[in-house]
Amino acid sequence: MALFNLFRKDKPEDLMAFLKQGVPGGGEGPEARVRQTAQAQAQAAIEVEETGGGLAPELEEAAVLYANGKTGDAAALLNRYLLDHPDLRDPQPWYMLFDLYEATGQSAPFEDAAVEFAVRFERSPPTWSPRVLQSGGEEAAMPYMGFGAQFGPADRERLKRFLQEAQARPAVRVDVGRTPAPDEDYARVILECLTRLQEEGKAIQLTGAPSLIAHLQAQRDADRLSEPGWLLLLTLLQLSADEARFEELALDYAVRFEVSPPSYTPPKAPAQPDPRSGVPRPEPSGLSFPLYGVVGARGDDQLARLRAFAEDKPQVEIDLSRVSRIEFASVGLLLETLIALQEKGCKVLFKEGNELVNVLLQLIGAAQYAVILGRTRV
């Protein structure tokens, strides 16, 4: 019997009978069977059957791999699926991959996929906006811009959206680690971006600067560095807090272009993240109940609090925006909670979950007891 057949129960009592039955010979309770199933899957390939929902088996398998913590395998499966289906016009597999990269903090592959998405669908890709940390803490998500080997129309659109987002944030992230020696126009684009951020008083978390500095220095040594390149090199040294090299280069720049040398200004340091212990737990508000982090073996208290919160309410909205993953081992307790709420006449709505979480909810039959809304994307 395939794994998903065990969850495709038409009646709540049949489903709960499966979840509550003990393991033969073990005499164990409700969660034991689900946990053992998940553990077994961690050691073996997952058998997936085509379901009535129309979702490709590879995408179902990716959602279960992710739920079991196999994020690398899930990402590889999604990438392989997209490569094998070059004419696919459905964006859902792409959204699954984007959400996986965001939830695991992989900004570089996210930006690579975003460029491919823009080319394939001829529209703007989703914006990098991670909402949770793997540690379970909250992330004051900083706007992110990654500069690559070239700068095309899709990159120009990403930069425009990045600068718009940056206006409302005190700190931003800029990655230049994948940028080779830029030509004059590309150097000017990066320079104008960094200069604007500095003028707006933003703290810039710069990554990949040593690599680009080395490329620009090589151009300078070969006497092929344009004036925007010189200014970009000075800006990178300043943001790297390398005052000695900045002052040396500033004098060379002044002699070369017959101008006054630029003055060194210490970079504005990004605020340090709060330690995990100091991160406030998101609290319910009105009819909205937020789950957060990885909902799993240590997340059972969240579901207990959800149940208590919904006790006297006709409906409840479960906010999944801060949830990175729902562990497969916890689906039994989650379904039991949903069924209990339904029996009390409480209507349940899931909102703002990432695509992998939402697919898992669909696979385990949560849609029989709740409405599942997709994530709002920009």
Cα 307 vs. chain centroid, distance in angstroms? 28
pLDDT score of 268 more than 70:
yes
Q: Highest mean pLDDT: which of 12-26, 166-180, 296-310? A: 166-180
The closest of 24, 26, 38 to 332, measured between CA atoms, is: 38
pLDDT (0 to 100) of residue 263: 93
Q: What's the order of all strands across the beta sheet hosting 144-146?
A: 144-146, 171-175, 203-207
Secondary structure (3-state) at 147: coil
Residue 38 in this model has a pLDDT that exceeds 60:
no
Quick check: 54 and 11 in contact, CB under 8 A?
no
CA distances from 52 to 45, 270, 290, 361, 362 (A): 22, 49, 30, 15, 11
Q: What value, to the nearest 5°, has the Cα angle with vertex 286 and ends 280 and 287?
A: 105
Q: How confident is the model at residue 132 (pLDDT cuts 50, 70, 90)?
A: low
- Residue 372, SS3 per DSSP: strand
φ/ψ of residue 206, rounded to 5: -100, 130
Tokens of 174: 């800029």
CA–CA separation, 48 vs 142, rounded Å? 38
DSSP β-bridge partners for residue 315: 347
Integer CA distances (angstroms), 62 to 46, 73, 77, 119, 326, in order: 10, 8, 6, 24, 13
pLDDT digits (tens, 9 = 90+) for 223-254: 999 999 999 999 999 999 999 999 999 999 99
3-state DSSP assignment of residue 47: coil
Rounded to two decimals, the pTM is 0.55
Cα end-to-end span (Å), the chain: 41
Model pLDDT for residues 162-217, shown as the tens digit of each residue: 898 888 778 888 999 889 889 999 999 999 999 999 999 999 989 889 999 999 99
Residue 116 near residue 78, CB atoms below 8 Å: no
How high does pLDDT run on average in the chain?
80
Whole-number pLDDT of residue 124: 86
Coil, strand or helix: which one is 268?
Answer: coil
pLDDT of residue 378: 63
What is the sign of the dihedral through the CA atoms of 52, 56, 58 and 61? negative
What is the percent of the chain with per-residue pLDDT over 90, rounded to a whole number? Answer: 47
Alpha-carbon distances, residue 253 vs 123, 149, 238, 362 (angstroms): 41, 26, 14, 61
Q: How confident is the model at residue 330 (pLDDT cuts 50, 70, 90)?
A: confident
pLDDT per residue as tens digits for the range 311-321? 889 999 999 98
Residues 136 and 294: beta-carbon distance below 8 Å:
yes
CA–CA separation, 34 and 22 (whole Å): 10
* Residue 294 pLDDT: 85
Distance CA 197, CA 174 (A): 10
CB 357 within 8 A of CB 1: no
Every domain of the chain and the residues it spans: 3-121, 144-257
- Which of the four pLDDT bands, split at 50, 70 and 90, describes residue 11? very low
pLDDT of residue 42: 35
Listing from the earlier edge strand, what are the strands of the sheet with 315-326? 288-295, 315-326, 347-351, 371-372
Lowest model confidence (mean pLDDT) among 73-82, 194-203, 274-283, 287-296: 274-283
* Among 15-24, 280-289, 358-367, the range of highest mean pLDDT: 358-367
